[in-house]
Amino acid sequence: MNATYQRFVLGVAILLGGWLALNVSASVIQIGGVTLQVEIADTQEKKEKGLSNREFLEQNSGMLFLFEKLGRYGFWMKEMNFAIDIIWIDKDKTVVEITKNVDPKTFPKVFYSKGAVQYIIETQAGWTKVNDIQLGDKILGL
């Protein structure tokens, strides 16, 4: 490779890395002692898009939705390509409800928690069962 081409490739890599850093914020959290890599949905745009139009979700990863105040937030499976578990978390960062194996075919049904929550995590369907996630488990790293 010549030096000009190497500089070009390096420049593209730096620009792409910067764009990803600005557009995808991620964090590592723990639920009941299990580590989960999560993308953070902290803007209205990210919350509306969620995991829509993705082909799959990596194992031990998910999306964490952050809300400024307690509420009952609706989630649906619009333009989803795979089933998910929805983990509902209160202001004290405690799992208060789990909706398992929500299939894309349920669209346009909207899913809500029974009570007020402040955080919601979407994972691969079956992740909560495989990892024995229980009501009352604490979320660390938020």
| Domains of the chain as residue ranges with CATH | 25-140 (2.60.120.1140)
Report pTM: 0.81
Q: How confident is the model at residue 51 (pLDDT cuts 50, 70, 90)?
A: very high
What the block records as the tokens of 28 is: 């590592």
End-to-end Cα spacing for the chain: 45
Q: What percent of the chain has pLDDT over 90?
A: 80
The predicted pLDDT at position 5 comes to 44
Q: Which residues contact 8 (CB under 8 A, 6 or more apart)?
A: none
> Residue 105: how many CB atoms within 10 A of its CB?
9
Question: Cα angle at 49 between 19 and 23, to 5 degrees?
Answer: 10
